[in-house]
Amino acid sequence: MIDVWNRVMTNLVTAGGDTIKKVTNTTSYMPARFPAIAVEQIDNADAARDLENSENGVYSVIQIQSFSNQSMTESRKVMGIACDAMRDMGYVRTFGAEPILNMSDTKIYRLSARFRRFIGSVDDIPKFEST
């Protein structure tokens, strides 16, 4: 199976630097540190097969949610960092960033966005370098 999930997570941690305090891989987790992002791979469907029925490409769909306990402005800043990183990895934003009411704590500011990219069996997403 073609799966770039670990590289996407590693690159988002690197891109977040000192600004994003927590990067988690589940949206059901309420971050203990703010600002934070939750990253979820919501699809990784087959997109191409060869004559032996081996997977040659997938459509990777990643959903990112940003969280802030300070302001929507801070949540948008964090989402902006994530959007730039996803674009650097070749992803295109297909949804959002849309505000979402955080039911468990309405004082938490939250945005959601989705990204999509075709990944071929010979594609490689370069690892971001720390600054």
∠ CA(62), CA(65), CA(67), 5° rounding? 160
- Whether the bond between 38 and the residue before it is cis, its omega within 30 degrees of 0, is no
Q: What pLDDT sits at residue 62?
A: 95
b/e for 26-50, b at 16 or more Cβ within 10 A?
A: ebeeebeebbbbbbbeeebeeeeee
Nearest-angstrom CA–CA distance, 58 and 64: 19
Residue 28: band (very low, low, confident or very high) from pLDDT cuts 50, 70, 90: low
Letter for the amino acid at 46?
A: D
Nearest-angstrom CA–CA distance, 75 and 68: 5
Residue 131: band (very low, low, confident or very high) from pLDDT cuts 50, 70, 90: low
Q: What pLDDT sits at residue 27?
A: 59
- Domain hosting residue 112, numbered range: 5-120
Report how many domains make up the chain: 1
> Does 38 fall in a domain?
yes
**CATH number of the domain encompassing residue 94:** 3.30.2000.10
- Cβ atoms of residues 65 and 35 within 8 Å: no
Nearest-angstrom CA–CA distance, 98 and 64: 11
> Does 103 fall in a domain?
yes
> Does 95 fall in a domain?
yes
> Does 131 fall in a domain?
no
Q: Which of 41-50, 85-94, 118-127 is most confident?
A: 85-94
∠ CA(119), CA(123), CA(125), 5° rounding? 90
> Does 127 fall in a domain?
no
> Does 80 fall in a domain?
yes
Q: How much is the pTM?
A: 0.88
91: Cβ–Cβ under 8 A, 6 or more apart, which residues? 60, 62, 115, 116, 117
Q: What pLDDT sits at residue 123?
A: 84
